[in-house]
Amino acid sequence: MLKGNYVSCHQRCNFGVWVRLEAILVVAILASISLGALAQEPTAYSLRAEVDQRAGEIERQVVAWRRDIHEHPELGNREFRTASLVADHLVQLGMDVRTEVAHTGVVATLRGGHPGPVVALRADMDALPVVEQVDVPFASKERTIYNGRDVGVMHACGHDNHVAILMGVADVLASVREELPGSVKFIFQPAEEGAPEGERGGAELMLEEGAFENPTPEAVFGLHVGPGTVGHMSYRSGSTMASSDGLRITVRGRQTHGAVPWGGVDPIVVSAQIVLGLQTVASRQLPVTRTPSIITIGSIHGGVRGNIIPDEVELVGTIRTFDSDVRTEIHQRVRQTAEQIAASAGAAAEVFISNGYPVTVNDPTLTAQMLPTLQRVAGDTPVMIQPQMTVAEDFSYFQQQVPGLFFFLGVTPNGLDPDRVPGNHSPLFFADEGALVVGVRALANLAVDYMTR
């Protein structure tokens, strides 16, 4: 033991050797850490380079898939042709493939050559009951029966792009499977726009039928095309898209002659008061600085003649919010407002609210971790912060199970104003195919970067 400043020659020699050995050991440890990091980084860099190269090589095939799917659109729970096209492609890539998940959904697993995390990627497959008005050679001429009516069918929301992009991602990642440190689940989902009347479908049913099982992913990524400069991407951390709940109010009065309104109770006047009263829920009963909310009545039905006051009127609408607590409160206030306005006039109001899609919430931690990936894919193009959107997405069900990131890809042709072009769900919605390869690179790189992070 060393005491004071006294050290013998023998002790000094041993001490010097010990110091030198300790220094050598520290250097060796640091070197091993540095070499390990360097060994991993080239793997990540080489994977990214291969992904980007392969995405460019397959771009023409992705465009061809998109045009084929666009020309042959199918409504929710009826995506038989699309699902078959997807499943055949995934089987050819050597994946484990499940079909008929939630009616027509396809789930496939690509297992990498090395152990690691599981990542899920999702695309929705369904079209809308819309007659296409876009003048392109592959425009849809499909018609079908929807809820008892003969309708046209069109990929007016752009899901054809989503399917083609994810098919391309599957091809790209399968080509580097031996280098992947983990696995990727590919989820091709039906009925995002909603199932036909009397049926269930979409993300919620896919999860019930095991879409996230064997193996279970740690994170899920998805995208949506829409108005925006072609190839530009945007995102938002936290609450991004609104919840969507159905609203149906039946107002019951008492029928009488239109010339003698005091002889009964007029449900039409009461309904008009309810429509106006509901607007005060969002503007006067809830703190407007906390979070936006919307109550819309989109359909009113009542009566058969102008001189007959009917017995009842039906109001149909939608409720949109960005906060789960506000969602609960707004439901209670809608019921209270409608019922009490009706009661004040001697009528009665029955309020039915059907819970629809939850709020789409991008996990803040995951979003921050993966933003550099989107920025790298974008290159010199800035990745913009997306304002909250009052439309809804059932991708939100996946995000309730694991952290998720849902981002947006612009498909407006160069030279056109994204704020003025026809948007999603329009019969004139047009997607520039130049954005497809960006979507392939973005989803593929998100998967690779998550696995190698």
Q: What are phi and psi of 351, to 5 degrees?
A: -110, 125
Q: Which amino acid is at 322?
A: F
Tokens read off for 228? 């925006």
Selecting among 59, 142, 204, 433, the annotated active-site residue is 433
> How many CA atoms within 13 Å lie on the side-chain side of 261?
9
The answer to whether residue 433 is catalytic is yes
Catalytic one of 357, 393, 397, 450: 357
Determine whether 6 is an active site residue.
no
Separation CA 412–CA 432 (nearest Å): 6
Q: Alpha-carbon dihedral of residues 329, 335, 337, 341, nearest 10 degrees? A: -170
For residues 233 and 409, the answer to whether their CB atoms sit within 8 Å is yes
Q: Cβ neighbours of residue 224 under 8 Å, at least 6 residues apart?
A: 158, 162, 393, 406, 407, 408, 409
Tokens of 220: 């899920």
List Cα–Cα distances, 288 to 189, 244, 334, 358, in angstroms.
35, 18, 16, 20
Residues marked as catalytic: 357, 433
